[in-house]
């Protein structure tokens, strides 16, 4: 899940707690095995390995639903969120700290186009050989929601699911007090810049600090424009959103950063509580801070 994961659940007994924790852990492992692009046995790897082939890969209901979700993200963002843009990693290596050549970017851009992903309930095919899709843009948020829903379906009324910073509260503490959730300081790792009181619902945060590189004094974010293959100049270095589900909260944080250079105020009309941190570390938004 790319980060520390924790479940904090108030249970009637230690036996029922152990059973629920086991169930949640196996749910996370199931999702990782099914959708990890690093595992050759995953359905994502299977879809990608069949790119350019005429034969669609069979889909189950869950994967079809995730493709539909990715489709909505593409439509709603005007193409700025593209679940086929993962191939840009081949030229943008943030660990090495080296800028790719323009020709390398030009060469790989034909592989980035969600319109070339064709899917129905029966199957999915990637029309161009070498294309890849992945659900990394919202998979962790989806897993957070599934764990919270499962715990709640088991009768848990008070708890918190945290998968690598994607958080969903199942009601407040039993005494009615909210969960105190820290928002990462974008420039001081491990330090919170603010604390949010979360009673119910989900809180997600995206930031330019997750992966980046500094070359010749210029900071390059991991958030790439799928149309140009170039890093985006973000108006904000962090966006946090509270929504009913972590999937929606996380999608809004991602879309906010992706759209921020063009429309910094886009998020405000959603009506969702949010917290934005600009490049000068100024906080703005509608989330009430502790």
Partner 1 sequence: MKKEANITLGALTCAAMSLPGMVVQDAQAEAAPDKHTASYRYTSYAEADQQEHALSSLGGPIARYEISVHQFLVSGPLVANKAYSIGIGTESMSGASPMFVQPVVDENGDVKPVQVMSGASIEEQRTDVSLGFELYESTSKFGFGFGVSTENDYNSVSGTINHTSWFNDKNTTFDLSTGVSFDTIEPTDAGVYIGDSNELLYPLRPLEEEKQSLSASMGLSHVVNRTLLLGGSVNYAVYNGFMSDPYKQAYIAYHYDEESGQYVEGAVVADSRPDVRKQAALNLQARWFIAKANAALHSDYRFFSTDWGTNSHTVNLAWYQNFGNFQVVPRVRFYHQTAANFYRNYYLVDRADGYYSSDYRLSEFHALSFRLRGQYTFGAFNFHASYENYISGSNNSDPQLGENPGLVDFSFFSLGADYRW
Judged by CB under 8 A, the residue of 28, 91, 247, 277 near partner 1 is 247
Sheet holding 274-278, edge to edge: 5-9, 159-163, 166-170, 201-207, 236-243, 274-278, 283-285
Binding mask 181-210 for partner 1 (x = CB under 8 A): ------------------------------
Map the footprint of partner 1 across residues 113-142, applying CB under 8 A: 142
Dihedral sign from CA coordinates of 165, 169, 174, 177: positive
Binding to partner 1 by residue 77, rule CB under 8 A?
yes
Largest CA distance in the chain: 61
Q: What is the DSSP string of 89-136?
A: GGT-BTTTTBPPPHHHHHHHGGG--GGGEEE-SSEEEESSTT-----T
Q: Per the structure block, which two tokens stand in for 265?
A: 């105020």
Please, which residue, 141 or 208, has the CB nearer to partner 1? 141
Judged by CB under 8 A, the residue of 126, 183, 235, 255 near partner 1 is 255
Binding to partner 1 by residue 68, rule CB under 8 A?
yes
Q: Per the structure block, which two tokens stand in for 275?
A: 């917290």
**Which of 12-20, 109-117, 127-135, 207-215 is the region at the interface with partner 1 (rule: CB under 8 A)?**
12-20
Binding to partner 1 by residue 73, rule CB under 8 A?
yes
Measured distance CA(26)–CA(17) in Å, rounded: 14
Determine the 3-state secondary structure of 40 from DSSP: coil
Judged by CB under 8 A, the residue of 40, 61, 280, 282 near partner 1 is 61
For the CB of residue 217, give the shortest distance to partner 1 in the complex, in Å: 31
Residues that bind partner 1 (CB under 8 A): 12-13, 16, 61-62, 65-66, 68-69, 71-73, 75-78, 80, 142, 145-146, 149-150, 152-155, 157, 243-245, 247-248, 251-252, 255, 259, 262-263, 266-272
């Amino acid at each position: 899940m790319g980060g520390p994961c924790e479940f904090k659940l108030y249970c009637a007994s230690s036996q029922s707690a152990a059973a629920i924790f086991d169930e949640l852990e196996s749910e996370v492992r199931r999702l990782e095995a099914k959708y990890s692009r690093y595992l050759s046995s995953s359905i994502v790897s299977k879809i990608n390995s069949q790119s350019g082939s005429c034969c669609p890969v069979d889909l189950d209901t869950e994967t079809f639903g995730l493709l539909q979700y990715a489709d909505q993200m593409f439509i709603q963002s005007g193409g700025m969120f593209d679940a086929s843009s993962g191939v840009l990693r081949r030229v943008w290596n943030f660990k090495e700290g080296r800028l790719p050549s323009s020709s390398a970017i030009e060469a790989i851009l034909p592989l980035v186009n969600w319109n070339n992903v064709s899917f129905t309930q029966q199957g999915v095919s990637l029309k161009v050989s070498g294309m890849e899709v992945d659900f990394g843009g919202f998979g962790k948020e989806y897993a957070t929601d599934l764990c919270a829903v499962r715990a709640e379906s088991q009768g848990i009324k008070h708890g918190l699911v945290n998968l690598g910073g994607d958080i969903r509260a199942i009601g407040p503490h039993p005494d009615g007090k909210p969960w105190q959730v820290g928002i990462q300081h974008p420039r001081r790792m491990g330090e919170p810049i603010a604390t949010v009181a979360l009673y119910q619902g989900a809180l997600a945060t995206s930031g330019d600090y997750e992966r980046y590189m500094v070359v010749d004094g210029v900071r390059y974010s991991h958030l790439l424009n799928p149309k140009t293959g170039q890093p985006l100049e973000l108006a904000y270095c962090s966006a946090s959103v509270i929504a009913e589900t972590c999937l929606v909260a996380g999608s809004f944080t991602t879309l906010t950063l992706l759209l921020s250079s063009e429309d910094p105020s886009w998020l405000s009309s959603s009506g969702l509580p949010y917290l934005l941190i600009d490049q000068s570390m100024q906080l703005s938004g509608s989330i009430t801070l502790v």
